[in-house]
Amino acid sequence: MTELPWLEPRVVAELDDLLARRLLFLDGATGTMVQRRGLREADFRGDLLRDHPRDLKGNTDLLCLTRPDVVADVHAQYLAAGADLIETNTFTSTRIAQADYGTEHLAYDLNVAAARLARRATDAWRDRTATPRFAVGSIGPLNKTLSLSPDVNDPAFRAVTWAEVHDAYTEQVRGLIDGGAHLLLVETIFDTLNAKAALSAIALEFERRGTRLPVMISVTITDKSGRTLSGQTVEAFWASVSHARPWSVGLNCALGAQEIRPWLVDLAAVADCRISCYPNAGLPNAFGAYDESPETTGALVAEFARDHLVDVVGGCCGTTPDHIAAIVQACGSQRPRAVSVAVPQANHTRLSGLEPLNITAQTNFVVIGERTNVTGSKKFCDLVKADDFATATQVALDQVRGGANLIDVNMDEGMLDSKRAMTVFLNTIASEPEIARLPVMVDSSNWQVLQAGLQCLQGKGVVNSISLKDGEAAFVEKARTIARYGAAAVVMAFDEHGQATDTDRRVAICERAYQLLVGIGFAPQDIFFDPNVLAIGTGIEEHADYAVSFLHATRRIKQRCPGAKVSGGISNLSFAFRGNEPVRQAMNSAFLYHAIAAGLDMGIVNAGQVTVYSDISPDLLRAVEDVLFNRDPGATDRLVAIADRFKGGAKKKEVDLAWRQAPVADRIAWALVHGTVDHIEVDVAEALAELGSPLAVIEGPMMAGMRQVGDLFGAGKMFLPQVVKSARVMKKGVAWLEPHLAAAKASGQGSSQGTLLLATVKGDVHDIGKNIVGVVLACNGWDIVDLGVMVPCETILREAAARGVRAVGLSGLITPSLDEMVHVAQEMQRRGLTLPLLIGGATTSKQHTAVKIAPHYTGPVVHVLDASRAVEVAQHATAHDHTAWLEALRADQENVRQIHALRHAAPLLPYAQAQARRPRLAFDPAVLSAPAVLGRQVLARAPLAEIAACIDWTFLFAAFDLKGRFPAILDHPDYGAAARDLYGNAQALLERVVREGALEVRATWGMWPAAADGNEVALFDPVDPAACVARFQFLRQQQKKTDPDKPHLCLADFVAPCQAGVVDYVGAFAVSAGFGVQDLEAAALADHDDFTAILAKALADRLAEAAAEWLHAQVRRAWYAPDEALDNDALIAERYRGIRPAFGYPSCPDHTEKAELWRLLRPDELGITLTETHAVAPAASVCGLFLGHPDARYFAVGPVGSDQLADYARRKGIEVDQAERAVAGS
């Protein structure tokens, strides 16, 4: 919301000034210090409560009224120890908490008195030392919770209401502010819903006063699961409270500094404010006391500071002034964390249940489960009416298991007490972790019901909905209230004149609402516009354009309302065909497909009943899309007629069975060596009957066959594609045996070489190479734990410890993944691990491993060149006596580091001289042709057959470690047969993909007027040439050249400079062939067919590159080469004018420039997204620029100097260290 002025601006300025120079220090435990005084009952009573009927000893907050001298002395000791921030003694000073002592009537007085005591202490210190100190109003978590039931037999019951909690906190906040607190601290949060009530009370009190104070928030993680007592993860918690725009957020209590670190790292990675941490003095001993020494606490907290995780540190339970003094001494020279590093992208939407739902550039369509709606599900309605909420939760669970990302809950029914029903149901599902992990969309046309729902959500939910139908004042007031609850809002395209049905009205209403919301400070990313999905195919002419109008409106809303999302109730579209479920599913699925391409972010659908677009019968799809796009007046009639006419079938291939005459062990070996799966289950069953034990089958004929495979592979007589096929056979046979293995496994028999963990690191989605390595290692007796892609460091190390692995393997394709690998190595070192660390992936190298990773970890760090080396490396790295091997490895790595140092000692030109040595190119207007079409273009489904003809097959073989160019590789003397077999399988899969449309290629591209300005290139609006729509930053070669006449290149050199007086053009593109690859992979893996799963991904990669080649050819013909006629060999050889540089490659090594490309092209509207480290998802995707100058060519930037880095950072508006990381790959 619009921010109020500070109550004490000087205080905020002083806090910022101190934090510009050093960390701030919070005090320690008040209770620990009070306990040391040995106070008696009389001390807690004083004169005020001399005759009180209940025992009061232990109610430490009362001392602010009965023994203020004790509290003042504690403050003084902490100030003397170096604390900057002194907490008020008000942890339990709410009416609810004090009710246990019968002293609730003193709640306000307690807070006023406590704030005055802290304020006097800090003011006195300021007067005496001329050093600012600050009083922090402590707001504790209460002894009753809004998210948990105290009755195990009634999960919906709550011991307290939102209103009671909100009122209690309001009274406390008023007392603290009236008493003079400089800041407010909502701390030790174990139930986020309680905290949200406190934050709402604070916000309303600030509004009442017209000024505000800095607000600190601190959550407590109860155990090593990394969750609060009420079940939220740290990131989900941040999503739930970030609406309060706190001055700081952090962690305290429950854990010591050593145990709290992983969750502090997670919080620092997502929060865009100051970070605090004040842990306990270790964990309590058997008697509940804290033994950790001040020196130990200080050293552990200093690690947080050294790693730039914190801005504010202090102590919680068990800490004393000695602990604070030790923390101050240990951290005194450390700088605070840089807040800017964690600022999320502006258009990211963060929702949460027990777990976060981040709707970012890399998020695909978000499914909102629709069946927990009394108006949309008769089953659910009947259960709610019968008060059977326990069974009604199963409806929600079905939606979760069907793929829903959010749950829509609607209780609007005339015979229901909707407010009660909403409250009871939401409280009930809060006790079901599988459901509660998802955010909730509270859906009602009744404002009171919506608020009742919001008062049950500890996570960040969504309100469905508000609109302008009652005018702007009511709309704005409701939006303010929603923001105070910390929720996002669905805004309907509905105003004072009714529901919008045409494109212009839909867009106009949404634009008007957007301006109102943004004007009051409502976050754009928390606005979900619903432009009204309305029924089509009704036979009413006015309804015929409803669907196509929705699509047009969605595109315009996304353009004109930056950051906002678009949602819709998808099932409304097919309402006219209720009773005909196949048609409804086809209509909804086809509409979803086109709506997502148009920019739809989320939709309310039955999560378990969405047909895959490519699975819709072509005849039915054609009829459905005729209705969707209102192609002709007879479309609806044709759709009705075709409803029941779609069937499918399949053909079987004949196989040669001559080898079936051999003994069963030989048949199993033959099947493994030849990769034949057709009879493996029959043969394994026969072997089981013969040998009597499933382990005997695995360790006998199956492992014998795999040893043959291993021997042939090691001898170069089998090749990787064949090994992967062998693994498919092995997995299928083992899968058949699994029901028989339980008893054998219990006996402890087996011959595994151990467990090895593999993961693609956080931020990276590429895993073909990792999967191949996993298959090869599994074939050689290793048990593989594959954590998949985008795996955080904490998960990798936690799983490694839990699984007792013998080694950890990290994979990554993009250059930012290299930094994440360094981080994992550093964290392994910090935790004292000695496991071997294996490094692999396309961007990794022996050099990078030796220079950048190995120095951070004393355990073995080994680069694995390819899958064929994986077995040897794993065996050496995990051998019990690998001393000689490790010494040789480290000597080799030291030699690599020395060579690297010598190479990079090669002199660089001063940046100014490199600039002066740019090439002098001519920009003849006759050569700078104008493209036929300017601006952004979209192709939602590119022609697969045409694109397939452009595939460069050489790199498919490389993916399977077969080296050589196509087609010569097919006749290679050693592995030509393997290459031919792989090529045949790839062609068969490609034929199927093209025939069935199993993969989709989507593309967005465009051409814009452009001009170079130094080392950057600006693109301009084709309609308004003065308006810059994108600006790309490039680097210039700086390393000295042996031939001083050779120019130092930069991509900007190939674009006409702005002072040239001519109009040049630059294109941009993003293509993906990854849509459908997950289905192909999943189907193959379900059949234990690793080979086809890996081949599908590899083929998708080839199609993505081919799509870029195909698209580039189309662009050239429409730009400057209308008569170009090159065959595929010429295209692959790049015998054409112009280049297609991709970000992250040598001529433009900075992946972060993709963010500018995404702002220009909006590929996320097609489902092509960026991860947080700027990898493109799906993985089979390519993006870059089109440059058309006749002299344009590819080159490597190479190393750059600090002078160029400083200029690059200035141009990008980032810190120099960030620029250095961004261009590390150069």
Percent of the chain whose pLDDT exceeds 90: 63
What φ, ψ does residue 280 adopt, rounded to 5°? Answer: -70, 170
Q: Is 147 an annotated catalytic residue?
A: no
Rounded-to-integer distance, Cα 779 and Cα 731, Å? 9
Q: What's the Cα-to-Cα distance from 455 to each of 199, 297, 403, 427, 430, rounded to whole Å?
A: 13, 39, 26, 10, 12
Q: What is the pLDDT of residue 715?
A: 55
Q: Burial-class residue 1193 by CB neighbours within 10 Å (0-12, 13-18, 19+).
A: middle
Given 683, 764, 961, 1053, which residue is catalytic? 764
Q: Do 264 and 312 meet the contact criterion of CB atoms below 8 Å apart?
A: no
Question: What mean pLDDT comes out for the span 405-430?
Answer: 95
Inform me whether the pLDDT recorded for 653 exceeds 80. no
Per the rule left: phi > 0, alpha: psi between -120 and 50, beta: everything else, 607 is alpha
Helix, coil or strand: residue 1165: helix
Say which range, 592-601, 698-707, 1069-1078, 1105-1114, has the weakest mean pLDDT: 698-707
Per DSSP, the residues of 612-679 read -GGGS-HHHHHHHHHHHTT-STTHHHHHHHHTT-------------GGGGS-HHHHHHHHHHHT--TT
Could you tell me which CATH number the domain at 754-904 has? 3.40.50.280
Inform me whether the pLDDT recorded for 905 exceeds 70. no
Q: Burial-class residue 248 by CB neighbours within 10 Å (0-12, 13-18, 19+).
A: buried
Residue 1078, amino acid: Q
Inform me whether the pLDDT recorded for 712 exceeds 70. no
Count CB atoms within 10 A of the CB of residue 902.
9
Helix (H) or strand (E) holding 1032: strand 1028-1033
Q: Do 599 and 567 meet the contact criterion of CB atoms below 8 Å apart?
A: no
Average pLDDT value for the chain: 89
Q: How confident is the model at residue 346 (pLDDT cuts 50, 70, 90)?
A: very low
Q: Which fold has domain 351-612?
A: TIM Barrel (3.20.20)
Q: What is the pLDDT of residue 702?
A: 85
Q: What is the pLDDT of residue 575?
A: 85
Question: What mean pLDDT comes out for the span 454-464?
Answer: 98
Q: How confident is the model at residue 1072 (pLDDT cuts 50, 70, 90)?
A: very high
Identify the residue with better confidence: 778 or 935.
Answer: 935
Q: What is the pLDDT of residue 710?
A: 66
Q: Is 817 an annotated catalytic residue?
A: yes
Rounded-to-integer distance, Cα 244 and Cα 627, Å? 46
Inform me whether the pLDDT recorded for 902 exceeds 80. no
Instruction: Classify each residue of 327-361 as buried b or exposed e, where b means 16 or more C-beta atoms within 10 Å of its C-beta.
Output: bbebbeebebbebeeeebeebebbbbbbbbbbbbb
Q: What is the pLDDT of residue 407?
A: 96
Query: Which residues in the chain are classed under CATH 3.20.20.330?
Result: 9-342
Question: What mean pLDDT comes out for the span 559-581?
Answer: 88
Q: What is the pLDDT of residue 466?
A: 97
Domain 935-942+999-1094+1101-1222 has CATH 3.40.50.720: no
Q: What is the pLDDT of residue 1169?
A: 92
Q: Which fold has domain 658-746?
A: 1.10.1240
Question: What mean pLDDT comes out for the span 864-887?
Answer: 81
Inform me whether the pLDDT recorded for 899 exceeds 80. no
Inform me whether the pLDDT recorded for 948 exceeds 80. yes
The 10s digit of each residue's pLDDT in 243-278 is 999 999 999 997 888 889 989 999 998 999 999 999
Inform me whether the pLDDT recorded for 1144 exceeds 70. yes
Q: What is the pLDDT of residue 652?
A: 34
Both structure tokens of 71: 């509290």
Q: How confident is the model at residue 923 (pLDDT cuts 50, 70, 90)?
A: very high
The 10s digit of each residue's pLDDT in 1027-1050 is 899 999 999 999 988 788 899 999
What φ, ψ does residue 961 adopt, rounded to 5°? Answer: 60, 30
Rounded-to-integer distance, Cα 973 and Cα 983, Å? 16
What is the SS3 string spanning 470-535?
A: CCHHHHHHHHHHHHHHCCEEEEECEECCEECCCHHHHHHHHHHHHHHHHHCCCCHHHEEEECCCCC
Say which range, 657-666, 1033-1042, 1207-1216, has the weakest mean pLDDT: 657-666
Q: What's the Cα-to-Cα distance from 286 to each of 248, 290, 291, 296, 317, rounded to whole Å?
A: 34, 10, 11, 20, 15
Q: What is the pLDDT of residue 389?
A: 95
Q: Do 61 and 140 meet the contact criterion of CB atoms below 8 Å apart?
A: no
Q: How confident is the model at residue 361 (pLDDT cuts 50, 70, 90)?
A: low
Q: How confident is the model at residue 1226 (pLDDT cuts 50, 70, 90)?
A: low
Question: What mean pLDDT comes out for the span 548-553?
Answer: 96
Inform me whether the pLDDT recorded for 496 exceeds 90. yes
Both structure tokens of 1011: 């001009």
Residue 398, amino acid: D
Alpha helix stretches (DSSP H) within 1068-1168: 1077-1086, 1090-1117, 1128-1132, 1154-1161
Inform me whether the pLDDT recorded for 409 exceeds 60. yes
**Longest CA pairwise span in the chain (Å):** 103
Rounded-to-integer distance, Cα 597 and Cα 580, Å? 26
Say which range, 382-391, 623-632, 858-867, 897-906, has the weakest mean pLDDT: 897-906
What φ, ψ does residue 1153 adopt, rounded to 5°? Answer: -65, -15
Residue 490: alpha-carbon gap to chain centroid? 23
Rounded-to-integer distance, Cα 956 and Cα 1103, Å? 10
Strands 498-499 and 494-495: antiparallel
Q: What is the pLDDT of residue 603?
A: 93
Q: How confident is the model at residue 1127 (pLDDT cuts 50, 70, 90)?
A: confident
Q: Is 766 an annotated catalytic residue?
A: yes
Question: What mean pLDDT comes out for the span 912-930?
Answer: 90
Q: How confident is the model at residue 650 (pLDDT cuts 50, 70, 90)?
A: very low
Inform me whether the pLDDT recorded for 651 exceeds 60. no
Helix (H) or strand (E) holding 1028: strand 1028-1033
Say which range, 365-379, 894-908, 958-972, has the weakest mean pLDDT: 894-908
Given 571, 693, 811, 817, which residue is catalytic? 817
Strands (E), 107-247: 134-139, 183-189, 215-219
Q: What is the pLDDT of residue 649?
A: 33
Residue whose token pair is 């092209």: 1161
Query: Which residues in the chain are classed under CATH 3.40.50.280?
Result: 754-904
Rounded-to-integer distance, Cα 275 and Cα 312, Å? 6
Residue whose token pair is 């051409």: 1007
Q: How confident is the model at residue 911 (pLDDT cuts 50, 70, 90)?
A: very high
For the chain, helix, strand, coil in percent to 5 are 50, 15, 35
Residue whose token pair is 């399949």: 650
Q: How confident is the model at residue 725 (pLDDT cuts 50, 70, 90)?
A: confident
Per DSSP, the residues of 365-425 read PEEEE--SBTTT-HHHHHHHHTT-HHHHHHHHHHHHHTT-SEEEEE---TTS-HHHHHHHH
Inform me whether the pLDDT recorded for 110 exceeds 90. yes
The CATH number of domain 9-342, selected from 3.20.20.330, 3.40.50.300, 3.40.50.10300, 3.30.70.270? 3.20.20.330
The 10s digit of each residue's pLDDT in 181-195 is 999 999 999 999 999
Closest-CA residue to 362 (of 1172, 1159, 1003, 1156):
1172
What φ, ψ does residue 195 adopt, rounded to 5°? Answer: -65, -40
Residue 61: alpha-carbon gap to chain centroid? 42
Question: What mean pLDDT comes out for the span 455-470?
Answer: 97
Say which range, 651-665, 918-932, 967-981, has the weakest mean pLDDT: 651-665
Q: Do 590 and 613 meet the contact criterion of CB atoms below 8 Å apart?
A: yes
Query: Which residues in the chain are classed under CATH 1.10.1240.10?
Result: 658-746
Identify the residue with better confidence: 1150 or 815.
Answer: 1150
Both structure tokens of 550: 């929705």
Rounded-to-integer distance, Cα 54 and Cα 825, Å? 57
Given 766, 1048, 1088, 1174, which residue is catalytic? 766
Helix (H) or strand (E) holding 121: helix 107-129
Q: How confident is the model at residue 611 (pLDDT cuts 50, 70, 90)?
A: low
Q: What is the pLDDT of residue 742?
A: 53
Question: What mean pLDDT comes out for the span 338-345?
Answer: 49
Identify the residue with better confidence: 1133 or 27.
Answer: 27
Query: Which residues in the chain are classed under CATH 3.10.196.10?
Result: 935-942+999-1094+1101-1222
Residue whose token pair is 């069935």: 996
Query: Which residues in the chain are classed under CATH 3.20.20.20?
Result: 351-612
Strands (E), 1127-1190: 1169-1170, 1176-1177, 1181-1186
Q: How confident is the model at residue 343 (pLDDT cuts 50, 70, 90)?
A: very low
Torsion of the alpha carbons at 880, 883, 885 and 889, rounded to the nearest 10:
120
Q: What is the pLDDT of residue 1225?
A: 55
Identify the residue with better confidence: 1023 or 824.
Answer: 824
The 10s digit of each residue's pLDDT in 781-816 is 788 999 988 899 999 999 999 999 999 999 987 667
Q: What is the pLDDT of residue 1090?
A: 81
